[in-house]
């Protein structure tokens, strides 16, 4: 069933890849195969404060170790730096930001994190700067997109059309940071549109981001984003049922590799941690088991 052209795996090199990242990539592989899509490796290195060379290298090493391949994107660190870094697309992000400014979809905000927390203890942005009309030259200012209130955003998923409001924490989200760099939501969606991605597979912790990005895309000049379909998967949780993070070393591929685990062992571990009853030893086992879980009709 050829339904999609391109999906992607888009890790942020701010830590070593962990089991959760690999789980997400395995699901991407399974769905790419099912729908006849190619896979793009798209490394988000825009956050230059947290990005490290060793973490970019680790992405290649970990995928190599797991013998997981992809169709498009950088082949190694050198190729990435030379041809695929987000910084290569700075003028593309700037062009879109300029258009959003012209269309008055955005506003200037000079609130500090402290001030935002004082205005709302949960850290939700209250829209304080929306009516202030600060000039774009305001020092130490960010650009926020004026998001609609009480309006549901329609989003296409593998399970059908869904709709939901942008979560409170992402209301009026930042599209250009105080340091002048594009923010994650803007960079991510513009890159996906730029490369022609039409299927996005990501963890269900990014459901809010999908809504935010869908809204942002609707504000951009001609885009194909309305044709992007999402699949949000469950997350691998740690021992205390918490989300895995890149700072927790013991679930990193690097740690598991160094402690002598083979790739079959990693498959088995992922199988156990995600509640697949049968022993998973390779991509084929995983694929069979995962497809069963998504092909079950969902009761709502």
Using CB under 5 A as the criterion, which residues of the chain lie in contact with Zn ion when the complex forms?
A: 109, 111, 128-129
CB of 114 to Zn ion, least distance (A): 12
Least CB distance from residue 245 to Zn ion, whole Å?
29
**Sheet order of strands, 229-233 included:** 38-41, 6-9, 199-203, 229-233, 153-157, 160-164
d(CA 68, CA 2): 21
**Which is nearest to 44 in space by CA: 190, 223, 179?**
190
Strands (E), 150-254: 153-157, 160-164, 174-176, 199-203, 229-233
User: 97 vs 129, which CB is nearer to Zn ion?
Assistant: 129
Nearer to Zn ion, 35 or 128 (CB): 128
User: Whose Cβ is closer to Zn ion: residue 171's or residue 202's?
Assistant: 171
Q: Output the smallest distance, CB 134 to Zn ion, in A.
A: 8
Residue number, 111 or 212, with CB nearest to Zn ion: 111
Query: Closer CB to Zn ion, residue 109 or residue 206?
Result: 109
Sequence-ordered alpha helix ranges (H) in 164-262: 184-195, 207-219, 253-258
Residues 145, 129: Cα–Cα separation, whole Å: 11
Ramachandran angles phi, psi of 262, nearest 5°: -95, 170
As measured in angstroms, the least distance from the Cβ of 110 to Zn ion is 6
Cβ distance to Zn ion smaller for residue 129 or 235: 129
Kind plus residue range of the DSSP H or E element containing 287: helix 283-295
Report the C-alpha gap between 134 and 150 in whole angstroms.
25
Give the nearest distance from C-beta 108 to Zn ion in angstroms: 8
Give least dist CB 262 to Zn ion, A: 52
């Amino acid at each position: 069933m050829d339904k999609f052209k391109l999906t992607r795996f888009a890790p942020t090199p701010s830590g070593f890849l962990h089991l959760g990242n690999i789980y997400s990539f395995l699901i991407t592989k399974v769905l790419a195969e099912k729908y006849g899509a190619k896979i793009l490796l798209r490394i988000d290195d825009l956050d230059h404060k947290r990005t490290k060379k060793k973490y970019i290298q680790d992405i290649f090493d970990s995928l190599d170790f797991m013998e997981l391949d992809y169709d498009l994107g950088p082949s190694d660190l050198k190729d990435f730096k030379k041809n695929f870094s987000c910084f290569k697309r700075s003028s593309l992000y700037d062009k879109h930001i300029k258009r959003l400014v012209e269309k008055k979809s955005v506003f200037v905000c000079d609130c500090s994190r402290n001030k935002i927390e004082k205005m709302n203890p949960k850290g939700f942005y209250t829209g304080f700067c929306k009516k202030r009309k600060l000039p774009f030259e305001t020092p130490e200012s960010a650009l926020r997109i004026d998001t609609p209130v009480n309006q549901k955003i329609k989003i296409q998923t593998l399970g059908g059309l869904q709709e939901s409001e942008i979560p409170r924490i992402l209301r009026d989200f930042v599209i250009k940071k105080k340091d002048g760099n594009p923010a994650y939501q803007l960079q991510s969606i513009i890159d996906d549109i730029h490369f022609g991605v039409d299927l996005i597979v990501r963890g269900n912790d990014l459901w809010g981001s999908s809504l935010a990005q869908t809204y942002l895309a609707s504000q951009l000049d001609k885009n194909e984003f309305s044709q992007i379909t999402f699949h949000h998967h469950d997350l691998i949780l740690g021992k205390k049922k918490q989300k895995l993070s890149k700072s927790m070393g013991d679930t990193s591929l690097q740690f598991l590799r160094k402690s002598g685990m083979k790739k079959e062992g990693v498959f088995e571990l992922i199988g156990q941690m995600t509640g697949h009853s049968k022993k998973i030893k390779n991509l084929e086992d995983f694929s069979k088991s995962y497809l069963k879980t998504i092909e079950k009709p969902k009761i709502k």
